[in-house]
Amino acid sequence: MIISSSIAEQRTVLHNISWETFEALLAETGEDRGSRFAYEDGTLEIMTPLFEHENPKSNFGNFIVALAEELEIEIKSAGSTTLKRRTAKRGIEPDNCYYIQNELAIRGKETLDLETDPAPDLAIEIDITSSSVNKLGIYSALGIAELWRYNGRDLKFYQLREGQYVECEFSIAFPIVSVSDISRFIQQSKTMGEIALLKSFRAWVREKLG
């Protein structure tokens, strides 16, 4: 077992964990626990997010809802829902994830099974400290079409192509925004209040839309 921590995240890594044990831990700890799990073929990482991790998560969520509203696109937020696929021996709990292109396909569902249901269209992953599992590999195995990954300094957009993530400049779900656009507002979040930031972001989106 390895334990590491920072002001942003605390991580515990367990090895030789079976899929059955992973599912038992999920069931025993429930959805209201403060930590998030990432499972990769026998390795389980348990991460407890702290302030430096959670504040960017809130801003990303605000931006995505604002984009959907201004573009008049329906979305379904799935939050940090456990995404898992037994056949792939992979599972993860993102910071946020959303159904956008596939929103209608899961509208009304109360449970999610990635063995039969489509995967979320967009996931947000914030890793201020280094993870001990290959999160890109986990997300790709689960079929997440788009991933935004932020490390506290740099933001990257990824698109899933033929089972591999390729770094890209523009969002698939929201083609009007580039990684540099969102990065600029995330940087501003370090010196602006959240409401002022959101108002500024909405004004920028409306200007883009003409």
173: CATH:
3.90.1570.10
- Domain membership of residue 196 (yes or no) is yes
What pLDDT does 6 receive? 44
Give a yes or no: residue 90 inside a domain.
yes
| Residue pointed to by tokens 């083609």 | 175
| 44 located within any domain | no
Q: pLDDT tens digits for 68-115?
A: 999 999 999 999 999 999 999 999 999 999 999 999 999 999 889 999
Residue 38 forms part of a structural domain: no
Q: What is the pLDDT, as a whole number, of residue 9?
A: 64
Query: Are 100 and 92 spatial neighbours (Cβ–Cβ below 8 Å)?
Result: no
Helix (H, G, I), strand (E, B), or coil: what is residue 124? strand
User: What confidence category does residue 1 fall into, taking pLDDT thresholds of 50, 70 and 90?
Assistant: very low
Is position 192 within any domain? yes
> Is residue 3 very low, low, confident or very high in pLDDT (cuts 50, 70, 90)?
very low
pLDDT at 5: 43
The number of domains in the chain is 1
Q: What is the pLDDT of residue 117?
A: 95
Give the pLDDT confidence of 46-72 residue by residue, as tens digits: 988 776 677 889 999 999 999 999 999
Please indicate, yes or no, if residue 33 is contained in any of the structural domains. Answer: no
Between 12 and 97, the more confident residue is: 97
Check whether 152 has a pLDDT greater than 50: yes
Is there a domain that residue 27 lies in? no
Range of the domain at 189: 51-209
The whole-number pLDDT of residue 4 equals: 44
| Residue 39 lies inside a defined structural domain of this protein | no
Mean pLDDT of the chain: 91
d(CA 133, CA 13) in angstroms, rounded, equals 9
Using alpha carbons, list the distances in angstroms from residue 196 to 123, 144, 190: 25, 32, 12
Give the β-pairing of 122-126 and 146-150. Answer: parallel
* pLDDT of amino acid 8: 53
Q: What is the mean pLDDT of residues 167-187?
A: 97
